Structure formats: structure tokens, C-alpha cells
Amino acid sequence: MASRSGVNDFVLRFANVNGTGSASANTLFAKAVFRMGLPVAAKNIFPSNIQGLPTWYEVRVSEKGYLGRREGIDLLVAVNPQSMEKDIRSVAPGGYLVYDDSKQLPPEWRREDIRFLGIPMIRMGMEHFPEPRTQLLMKNVIYVGALTALLDLDPEVVKALLHDQFGEKEKLIAMNIKALELGRNYALEHFDCPLGLRLEKRDLNRGKIMVDGNTATALGALYAGATVAAWYPITPSTSVMDAFAAYCEEYRKDPVTGKNRFAIVQAEDELASIGVVVGAGWNGARAFTATSGPGISLMTEFLGLAYFAEIPAVVVNVQRGGPSTGMPTRTQQADLISSAYASHGDTRHVLLFPSDPGECFELTAQAFDLAERLQTPVLVMTDLDLGMNDHVCHAFSWKDDRSFDRGKVLGAEELEQLKTWGRYLDVDGDGITYRTLPGTHPQKGAFFTRGTSKDEYARYTEDNDAYKRNVDRLMVKWATAARLVPPPELLRCKGQPVAGMLYFGTTAHAAREARDQLAQEGIFVEGIRIRSLPFHEEVRAFLDRYDRVYVVEQNRDAQMRTLLIQELDVPNHKLIPVLHYDGFPIPADTIYQQIRQHWPAAVNV
Amino acid sequence: MTYLRPTFRHPDLPVNRLGYTFKDYEGGLSTLCAGCGHDSISGAIVQACFELAIEPHRVAKLSGIGCSSKTPTYFLSQSHGFNTVHGRMPSVATGANLANRDLLYLGVSGDGDSASIGMGQFVHAIRRNLNIVYILMNNGCYGLTKGQDSATADVGSKSKSGSVNKFATIDLASLAIELGATFVARSFSGDKSQLVPLIRAAMSHGGFAFLDVVSPCVTFNNNLGSTKSYQYVREHNHAAGTMDFVPPAEEITVRYPENTARELAMHDGSKIVLHKLPTEWDPMDRLSTMKRLHQASMTGEIVTGLLYIEPDSEDLHATLQTVDTPLNALREHDLCPGSRALDEINAAFR
């Protein structure tokens, strides 16, 4: 069988044991590809465990910029004996297996349709490095070294990365470079390098960065002026707060006193986390929490309070596989309904759907403006794939004259001028009323905040008309929200579109690739990437244009489709679900196959 | 319903140091049952605030859910109030306090709110030494749902319906001391002369100040056989020692004989003078207080007074090293690192 070949277009997978330092070596590889100017996507597939279980790291290189996940492994680096047998089977026919041959492989694991490239990584590590821990770590760098030869990965780029990573630690740099050379030289001596699969430098990453979504989300909160953060550790959201804390240490110290312009509380649970956020929001600080599905379940009572009492709050939901504990280290978009309607009674919340780290930054920053403008919770809906994996995106940008939208908050002078004021009195007709903060004015503006029904002047009442006026006003506010949320993004196609395709979040890359695959067969679909709930009016216009719209989402129950039907009253027969929910990021092929089957008459062009 | 009191003021009403009258600290008319202990506690809060000359708008009053948690509408109508969700007032108060360290936070809770549904939040607010006056109106039952036993009901205590509580009681004052609370007192809603100075002292404490106030439920738990009835509490109340609270501006005028009084300096410059010191324990010694409370629980006594105090404790803001300016007063230029810093950050991801 002919070996796989191609320039700048392949999928490589590393099979490791978690807790062995492989993550940094694998990231080193992906980052080096990025620095060679090539579009690259890296996905960490890891267990809910700290040490000793199999973990994989998948890198897709695509000159065309298709950065969604693709099935089919062209080259696998196998260094985990536990999973080796299965790993060998996972390589696509014609692919390559780079493996540790310090020990001989059982003959029955051999395959005729792939190439075996044995490198004694562990043995070389033991021969050249004294400490057991170093041997373990350097084994990883040895295979990166081998890949520089096998794939034409520029070794100078890798060395520059090592210098950037370790800075002044010359010893560490020297040790890593030694391991890199060991691997590279071994490959050059034993194999015909490069393989059919290889890398060539391009200049496709100008203005771009490679970063994980959780870091970007944390930066969004930093730039938006969040001062109070409360959280409870939960995968995959934990690194949001880790990053926020680290950036605050760097950028939020008072230059004179060294004191903190932020307060971060690791709370006793998610109920307390959102409670802290609600308390701080009520008192005029920008506050947020980060969590995942199980945390949202626990926060629902408070989210209802914040909705009904009209208190700003920002909640980052880094979605993972559910239900229940589900698949805590796998990705899904399955908290749409539980987030949109979190809490009892008629409750609804603003959701934002970033699709890459650049949007995690921007939409998280916007979430604080929206939460204060609308005086309501705003949930930033990312997922494990976006939050924890590195993605290539446009560099973050911030205009220095940008100010925070603190919404309708009355200060002491404004209160002084006002003859009458009602906390829940809609004077502007947009459903958003004026609030006051504790401690503002000695005689004016005090009111009682409660989750019970109240009249326009914040007085407790069980009067049915007053109750109804209040909840109806909240729907006016919801309509206002639909005008303030970020609009969707359209994905045009080259031919006359025959259908629409609606998607959001991390499905974006796979959707674009699927659109191109379909177009090659003459099936033209126009895409729309939703960025918010409530739906922007452009979403309705899009749905009106097509008899059928494929709704692509990463959950079993077609939750976005349900939201579209519920919120926009779209006839359900025209919304065709395209679903993916096995816990891995959605591949383009899944979308392509599911849409393709509806067009049996289409022919290859 | 929250009724508002008439705004008429008698011109000769006494005023405090800041010119506020007693009425400036009142709230809406109570809708609790006539004779409810909680109303007496509300009255004590009003009196304490008047005497301390606190600016009403600089107080934030927060509560959970239940009869006790309704009371913040019945005092300090010039203060912002927040009736949160059941058992979760401590977390909301934590957030509010972090947002603005300059206000006085007054948390009101009940025994169902703090000893059952909200136990976790109660415990962790103590652990963080949140700067708050936490008043627990403790009636041993769920009044608003018609009299079920709460977790602070004593074993063997009989409810109005005749059922006898079979489960061990949770003593929140002992628990608070065990957890490291820095100000713990117990009092009785019917003993204003003890309660008011305790509230004043709690308001001057720079940390978590817990007041467990036994407050009989006249409707559901004031019967014979109940250990939270007016009669039982009066008969078993061991008010140990008495104390005076001396605000910062005032001099200590009364002199007590040596060895019978102890003077404690508070954060804000005020002083607590403990006189007729308790003989059975030392309120500055956690272990001795714990021992005394355990003894009392065995004999059915209710020990009241200032049980334990650590006057110079550090609150959550000190632990988190937050700036002196309230966080909610910081603006863009204090908070946003700007585009130049973002360029550096971007560079790290290239």
C-alpha cells in the first residue's frame, strides 16, 4: 500500500500516559507548526485522572485553514504501552506509526498497511540523562526531535520556542536541545527523511495567536473590569479562574500600595459562587463566576433570583459531556436549555456563544456590558474543546478609549434632582429600569431587593396586576436584549444556496469545511453562525429565506433547534437536526454525511 | 404587605450625634405575629443604630428566607436591603462586602435558614471572617410553614402540636466558636438591656460577629414543654456578666473596682467594658468558653452574654489584601490594562 503523502495537510496523534510531561512536548510541536506560518489545530483528549491513564493529543495541520477535527490519523506517535495495541489499529491505512521500540512489539500487533518507525526513545533517554524524572520528560522531546526530521518541522523554530519557554534557564534549554538533537539524528540516520507527509513554511498566521479559550475568557474579564470573582473548581472551567488570578497578580496591583484591585473567592460550592457574584453585582462591582454543566444546575435558584430581582451577573459555562457527571473531560454543547431557562418559573437568560479564543475575549468583555445594561445574568457559553485546547485566532485587540457600559445606575446628584423614582418603573419604555447602589444618598434611592413579587416602587405585593405588569416588562427587556446582543455571522457559498445551515460555537470550523465539501458536489448551503440568545433579528430573516435549515449542534436532543422553535416560532419540519454527541469535537465529515444523505440526486461536479 | 409608618416627627424628638432621630432608623410596620420575639430584636437593632449614630444609608441589610428574614423591612428604611434566597444570605453578603468594604453589613437569618438549608454558607462565612453582623433570630421552629421543628430545637422539646423533637440540637454559637468566629454572643429577644449593647459591640467588630438571639415563636413554639418559650428562656437564662459599649468619641466614665472589669479595644476605636466578669469562663479564651457551653447544654441552661471575642481579628479584605478603595468605585483606568499590555500578552501566544 502506498504511504500517505501530502504537504501541510495531515492529522497527527500523540498517544501518551498522563502525568508524564507529554503535554508540554506536544504543545511544543503544535506551536512550532504555528510558527512555521501554518494553520494548526491541537486537541487534547484526556481522562478524568491525574496520573497514569492514557491521554492523546491530536494535531491537525491544514493549509486550507480547516481547523475542525478530522477523523483518520495519518501519523501516530505511540509511547503508551497501555493503549499501544488500540493505537496501532487507529492509524489510517497508508499511515505511519512512530513508536518507542525500546522493547519489541508483539508480532500480532503488526500491520502490513502502515509503516512502523521504531525509535528507542526510553532507552535513549536513560542513556543520556541521569535523573529518572528527566529521562521520562526528555523521552518526549526526543520524539519531537525525530518529527523535525520526519516531517520537516524546522528544528530552529523548535529551539527558538525552547528559548522563549525557559528564558534564562540555560541548563534546561541545553538539556532539551540535546534531547531534540538525539531524536532528530536518530531519525535522519535510520529513515528516509522526510516522509511523504511533510511541512512547508507559509505565512498564513500573520496577526494571529494560538491560545486556549479559558485564558482568553479570563482576559476578557480582566479587560472588562471584573473585580469580584467566585468559583468552585470544576473541569473544564477551572483554568478560567487560574488564568484570571494570574493576570490579576500581574495587572491589578495598586502600584503604590501593592494591594489588590480584585477579590477572588474559591467558594464552598457553586451555590455560594453565584451568590457572591449576585451580591457583588447588586452592590455595583463587576463580578463573574466560571463553571460547567453541574455547576449551572446548582446555580439555578440564584439565576432565577438575579433574573427576577434584576441584578447583573456574568457566568461562564464551559460545557462538558453530560448529563450528571457525564464525561467531564469531553466536549459537548448540551447545556443550552438548562442555561437558557435556568430556574423555576418563567425565567430566561441571555446567552453568548463564542467560537474561538478571540471571541471568548471579546464576548466575555461584552457580557459585562450587557449584564449591567440589561441588569440580568449573561452566560458565556463555551465548551471544553474551546476552553481547554489551543486554537489559532486573530490577536486580541482593545481600543484604549473603550469605556464600560455601567447601565442605568443613578448617582447621588441624579437622585437629588429626581422627584419620584421607582426601582422597577419603566420610564424609557425599553423594559430596563433605573437602579441605585447601597450607600449612594442619605435620604433617596434606598429600596428593598427581593425575589418575591413587587410593584414598580419595589414594594412587596401579591397584587396580580402588579405581578403581571412586572413579568410582562421583563419580556420588553428581553426584546431590547435582542437588539443589543452581537449579530450572527453569515457564511456565504459560491453557488445558489439550496438550504441553510445554522451552527454556533466550536462547530464553526467544521461547518465551513462541510460547506466546501458539499459545494464540491453541487450542494450549496449558506451558513449562519449564531452568537446569542435572544436571537438577533437577522436570525429570523435567515430562517425565512430557506425551506430547510440544517441545525448543527453537539448534543443529542437538538437543543438549539428547540430554542429556535420556542423563541422564533419556526415550523419544526423545516429545521433538520444535524447532531454529534460522542464527546469528541465535531468533525466536518459528520456534518457533510448527515446533510449529504438528504440530497441523493446530487452528483459530483 | 409592607406598611409605611407616618413620616410625622415630633419636633422635640431626641437626636443623636449626627442629628438623626430614633424614627430615622425605623422601617415598615411589622407583619409578624403580635408578640413575636423577632420584632423585639428589630427594635433592638433600631436602638443600637440610633445610639451608635450610624448613617442609615451606609448600612446594607441582607437576609435569607423565613420569618426572621422578613424583618429587614421593619427597620432602617433608609438602608438598601436584600431578601435573598433560603440559606444563601452569607454568600450574597460576601459578594456585597467585597464590592464595597465601606458599608456596614447586617445579616439577618433564622434557625432554619442557617442551621439547615444554609449550614454550609454559615460555616464558610465564618471561616472567611467576613466582616458582618450576623443576627440569628432563633425560635427553634419553622414559623412561616407553620411550626415544624428546626435543627436548633432541643431534644425533648415539645411543639405546640404535641410532637417531641427526637434529634440532637445544633448549637450555632458553639459551632461558630469551634469554627474560629471572632465575636460570638448569645442573647434573648426579651432582654433588651443585654441585647442592645451586644449589637453595638458587634457593629464595631472588624470581622464575623455572630449573635444567636433566642426569640420565641408566639404562635407555634411558646407552649409548655418547649425550650424556646418565653417562660422557659426566662427561667433558664444565665446572663453571665454584663457589658458596656463605649463608642470611640466617648470617655469611659464609670470606674469599676479593679479585677472586676476588663476593657477591650475594638477596631474602630470604641471599647467594650466587661464588668461583673463571668466567673466560669474567660471570653478571650476559646477553650474555656467551649467548656462552659458544653456544660450548659447538659444542664439545660441558656448562657447569654458576650461568649467569645477576639478583638483584633483580620477580616476577609485583609486576607485578600484588597485595596482600601471600594472595588465598586474603581474605574476603567484602575482596572483595564489597556492595549499596550495586550500587545505583550498577544506576543506570548505567538
Cβ neighbours of A223 in B, within 8 Å: 336-337, 342
Q: Does B259 score more than 70 pLDDT?
A: no
Domain ranges of chain B: 22-332
Do B141 and B217 contact (CB within 8 A), yes or no? Answer: yes
Provide the shortest C-alpha distance from residue B312 to chain A (in Å): 20
Q: Is the pLDDT of residue B294 over 70?
A: yes
**With contacts defined as CB-CB under 8 Å, which chain B residues touch A342?**
none
What would the pLDDT profile of A19-35 be if each residue is shown by its tens digit?
888 999 999 999 999 99
Report pLDDT digits (tens) over B152-185.
999 999 989 889 999 999 999 999 999 999 999 9
Question: B350 to chain A: nearest residue by CA?
Answer: A209
Say how many CB pairs under 8 Å bridge A and B.
227
Last residue of a domain, one of A141, A171, A205: A205
* Predicted pLDDT of residue B243: 81
| A231 in the same domain as A176 | no
**Which single residue is written with the C-alpha cell 435620604?**
A443
- Note whether A386 and A255 are same-domain residues: yes
Considering the domain architecture, whether residues A536 and A590 belong to the same structural domain is answered as yes
Chain A touched by B22 (CB under 8 Å): no
**Cα–Cα dist A226/A218, whole Å:** 10
CA distances B141 to B87, B165, B296, Å, are: 15, 11, 21
φ, ψ of residue A56 to 5 degrees: the values are: -125, 155
How confident is the model over A289-342, as pLDDT tens digits? 999 999 999 999 999 999 999 999 999 999 999 999 999 999 999 999 999 999
CA separation for the pair A512, A494 (Å, rounded): 12
DSSP 3-state of A339: helix
Has residue A602 been placed in a domain?
no
CATH number at residue A261: 3.40.50.970
Would you say B121 and A305 are in contact if contact means Cβ atoms under 8 Å apart?
Answer: no
Are A106 and A253 in the same domain?
Answer: no
Query: CB contact, 8 Å: A230 with chain B?
Result: yes
List the single residue in B124, B323, B339 with the smallest CB-CB distance to A257. B323
Chain B CB contacts of A209 under 8 Å are 346, 349-350
Partner B contacted by A90 (CB < 8 A): no
Q: Could you give the percent of chain B with pLDDT greater than 90?
A: 80
HSE-CB at B243 with a 13 A cutoff on CA atoms is 31
pLDDT at B15 over 90: yes
A605 in a domain, yes or no? no
Q: Are residues A43 and A149 in the same domain?
A: yes
Helix (H), strand (E) counts: chain A: 19, 25
Segment 435-474 of chain A within 8 Å of chain B by CB:
436-443, 446-452, 459-461
Domain limit, last residue, from A205, A225, A253: A205
Same domain, A329 and A381: yes
Distance CA A561, CA A567 (A): 10
Which pLDDT tens digit goes with each residue over B68-118? 999 999 999 999 999 999 999 999 999 999 999 999 999 999 999 999 999
- Classified as helix, coil or strand, A541 is helix
**Sheet-wide strand order for B271-275:** B242-246, B271-275, B261-265
Cell of A506: 466550536
Burial pattern A94-117, b for ≥16 Cβ within 10 A else e, equals ebbbbbbebeebeeeeeeeebbbb
Confidence (pLDDT) at A437: 98
Average pLDDT over residues A89-103: 95
Question: Are B127 and B180 within 8 A, CB to CB?
Answer: yes
Q: Among A227, A275, A440, whose Cβ lies nearest the Cβ of B88?
A: A275
Q: Is residue A367 assigned to a domain?
A: yes
Residues A51, A31 within the same domain:
yes
* Chain A residues 20-59 within an 8 A CB cutoff of chain B: 35
Cβ–Cβ under 8 Å, residues A121 and A80: no
Dump pLDDT digits (tens) for A464-521: 999 999 999 999 999 999 999 999 999 999 999 999 999 999 999 999 999 999 999 9
Q: What is the pLDDT of residue B263?
A: 82
Confidence of residue A458 (pLDDT cuts 50, 70, 90): very high
Is A257's Cβ below 8 Å from some Cβ in B? yes
> Is the pLDDT reported for residue B277 higher than 80?
no
* A217 shares a domain with A192: no
How far does Cα B210 stand from its chain's mean position? 5
- Which chain A residues contact residue B55 at CB under 8 A? 442
Query: CB of A543 within 8 A of CB of A570?
Result: yes
pLDDT computed for residue B244 by the predictor: 81
A225–B322: do the CB atoms touch at under 8 Å? Answer: no
Considering only the beta carbons, identify the residue of B77, B85, B335 that sits closest to A225. Answer: B335
Average pLDDT value for chain B: 92
**pLDDT at residue A194 in the model:** 96
Report the share of chain A in percent with pLDDT over 70. 99
- Measured in angstroms, the CA of B204 and the nearest CA of chain A are apart by 18
CB-CB neighbours of A185 under 10 Å = 13
Is residue A399 in some structural domain?
A: no
Chain A residue numbers touching B106 (CB-CB < 8 A): none
Number of domains, chain A: 4
Banded pLDDT at A604 (limits 50, 70, 90): low
Query: Which residue's C-alpha cell is 510531561?
Result: A21
Asked if the model's pLDDT at residue B1 lies above 50, the reply is: no
CATH architecture for the domain at B22-332: 3-Layer(aba) Sandwich (3.40)
DSSP B71: G
**CA–CA distance, B344 with A279 (Å, rounded to integer):** 34
Task: Tell me the chain B residues in contact with residue A459 when contact means C-beta distances shorter than 8 Å.
Answer: 2
Which of A189, A205, A221 is where one domain is finished?
A205
Considering chain A, what is the average pLDDT of its residues? 96
Q: A194 and A167 in one domain?
A: yes
Judge whether A511 lies within some domain.
Answer: yes
User: Given the C-alpha cell 425550650, which residue does it identify?
Assistant: B227
Could you tell me the pLDDT band of residue A5, with boundaries at 50, 70 and 90? confident
The model's confidence at residue B6, banded by pLDDT at 50, 70 and 90, is: low
- Please answer yes or no on whether B322 and A269 come within 8 Å at the CB atom: no
pTM of the complete model? 0.96
pLDDT recorded at residue A605: 47
- Containing structural domain, residue A564: 489-596
d(C-alpha B211, C-alpha B195), whole Å: 9
Which residue among A271, A397, A402 sits closest to B88, beta carbon to beta carbon?
A271
Residue A78 lies in a domain: yes
What CATH number does the domain containing A528 carry? 3.40.50.920
Contacting residues of B for A268, CB less than 8 Å apart: 120-121, 123-124
A27 and A147 assigned to the same domain: yes
> Is residue A601 assigned to a domain?
no
Interchain contact, B60 vs A283, CB within 8 Å? yes
Q: What is the distance between the alpha carbons of residues A383 and A503, in angstroms, rounded to a whole number?
A: 14
Which conformational region is residue A139 in: left (phi greater than 0), alpha (psi within -120 to 50 degrees), or beta?
alpha
CA of A456, closest CA in chain B: separation in Å?
A: 14
Q: What is the DSSP string of A273-304?
A: HHHHHHHHHHTT--EEEEE-HHHHHHHHHHHH
Same-domain pairing of A380 and A314:
yes
Model confidence band, residue A603 (pLDDT cutoffs 50, 70, 90): low
A382 and A442 inside one domain: no
B204 touches chain A (CB under 8 A): no
Say how many C-beta atoms besides its own lie within 10 A of residue A395's C-beta.
18
In a domain, A401, yes or no: no
Chain B interface, best mutation among A227, A362, A416, by max B CB count within 10 A: A227
Residue B117: all three cell numbers together: 438549608
Neighbouring CB atoms inside 10 A of A514's CB total: 31
Partner residue opposite B328 with nearest CB, options A273, A437, A461: A437
Q: Which residue has the cell 468619641?
A: B249
C-alpha cell at position A490: 453569515
